């Protein structure tokens, strides 16, 4: 898989897990191929399945508002999902489905090589930091191997609950300053000689924000 277009082509014809049976369209992901900022959601919902595009339903409308609040549009970023086909009745994706689909996301991340990955919700959080709760992990810049990660809640979880909405709005407000800081390269090497907190996996480390 040498290009994002080739990945999208393969995803559109993929039958590597059960989810292909119920789909109308698979949803490879879309956006700028050289995006600094990449978002990873969970999987397509009803509207996404119908249109073959990520985040085009109610959660997507909220995501667009959140992007607009920090001066960005969806064309500025790349938007992908953990699984590329809609789970029936919007159920959670199963571990085997996530495993079968991960080759596409892995390669998308490699090709886009974003400066910052924002995980939306618990499934994409678990891809990098398994076992961590979203309520504890959200709103903190992290490293995972070579990648800079910033977990936030899923917009669908924040849409109809005022407290969550406030939280995700605030977490988005921090993104421009995080990007600035990463552009300056001061997070490219560990700055803090202190050992990471015990609950973090050895691969991850905390980056104090300012
Ligand atoms: N929710 C997701 O996680 N992804 C989408 O593409 C749409 C809604
Ligand atoms: Fe293939 Fe992923 Fe769709 Fe499963 S969810 S059929 S692995 S593209």
The CATH number that applies at residue 177 is 3.40.470.10
How many separate domains does the chain show? Answer: 1
Q: Is residue 197 part of a domain?
A: no
Q: For residue 206, is it within any domain?
A: no
* Residue 57 within a domain: yes
42 C-alpha vs ligand 2 centroid, how far in Å? 13
Tens of pLDDT along 38-94?
Answer: 999 999 999 999 999 999 999 999 999 999 999 999 999 999 999 999 999 999 999
What is the model's pLDDT at position 160? Answer: 84
CA atoms within 13 A on the CB side of 24: 10
Strand partners, 205: 143
Give the integer Cα–Cα distance in Å for 113 and 82: 17
- Note whether 117 and 147 are within 8 A (CB): yes
Check pocket membership of 128 for ligand 1, CB cut-off 6 A: no
User: Per the domain annotation, does 196 fall within a domain?
Assistant: no
User: Which of 106, 118, 121, 105 is CA-nearest to residue 39?
Assistant: 118
Ligand 1 atom with least separation from CA of 53? 6
Specify which residues 183 forms β-bridges with.
none
In a domain, 106, yes or no: yes
Task: Render pLDDT for 151-162 as a digit per residue (tens, 0 to 9).
Answer: 999 999 999 899
Q: How many angstroms is it from 46 CA to the middle of ligand 2?
A: 16
| Residues 95, 101: Cα–Cα separation, whole Å | 10
How do strand 116-120 and strand 147-152 relate by DSSP bridges? parallel
Assigned token pair, 119: 């995980």
- Pocket, ligand 2, Cβ cutoff 6 A: 11, 14-17, 19-20, 26, 83-85, 97, 100-101
CA of 197 to the centre of ligand 2 (A): 36
- Confidence at residue 192, expressed as pLDDT on a 0 to 100 scale: 39
Does 199 fall in a domain?
no
Cα–Cα distance, 107 to 165 (Å, whole number)? 32
Task: Establish if 163 belongs to a structural domain.
Answer: yes
Ligand 2: distance of its center to the CA of 106 in Å?
13
> Which residues constitute the domain of residue 41?
4-187
Ligand nearest to the CA of 49: 1
Whether ligand 1 lies within 6 angstroms of the CB of 41 is answered as yes
Distances (CA, A) of 104 to 100, 114, 157: 9, 15, 25
Closest CA relative to residue 71, chosen from 176, 162, 171, 165: 176
- Residue 34 phi/psi, 5-degree rounding, is -115, 30
For the whole model, what pTM was predicted? 0.90
**Could you tell me if the CB of 28 is within 6 A of ligand 1?**
no
pLDDT of residue 12: 98
Find where tokens 């109809």 sit: 160
pLDDT value of position 72: 98
Residue 19 lies in a domain: yes
């Amino acid at each position: 898989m040498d290009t994002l277009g080739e990945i999208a082509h393969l995803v559109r014809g993929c039958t590597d897990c059960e989810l292909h049976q119920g789909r109308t369209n698979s949803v490879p992901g879309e956006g700028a191929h050289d995006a600094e900022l990449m978002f990873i959601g969970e999987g397509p919902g009803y509207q996404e399945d119908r249109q073959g595009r990520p985040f085009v339903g109610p959660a997507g409308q909220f995501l667009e508002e959140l992007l607009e609040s920090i001066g960005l549009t969806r064309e500025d970023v790349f938007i992908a999902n953990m699984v590329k086909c809609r789970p029936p009745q919007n159920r959670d994706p199963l571990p085997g489905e996530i495993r079968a689909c991960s080759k596409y996301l892995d390669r998308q991340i490699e090709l886009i090589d974003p400066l910052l990955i924002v995980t939306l919700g618990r499934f994409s959080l678990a891809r990098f930091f398994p076992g961590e709760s979203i309520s504890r992990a959200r709103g903190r810049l992290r490293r995972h191997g070579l990648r800079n990660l910033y977990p936030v809640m899923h917009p669908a979880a924040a849409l109809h609950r005022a407290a969550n909405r406030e939280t995700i709005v605030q977490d988005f407000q921090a993104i421009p300053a995080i990007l600035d800081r990463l552009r300056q390269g001061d997070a490219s090497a560990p700055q803090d000689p202190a050992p990471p907190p015990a609950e973090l996996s050895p691969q991850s480390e905390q980056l104090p924000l300012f």
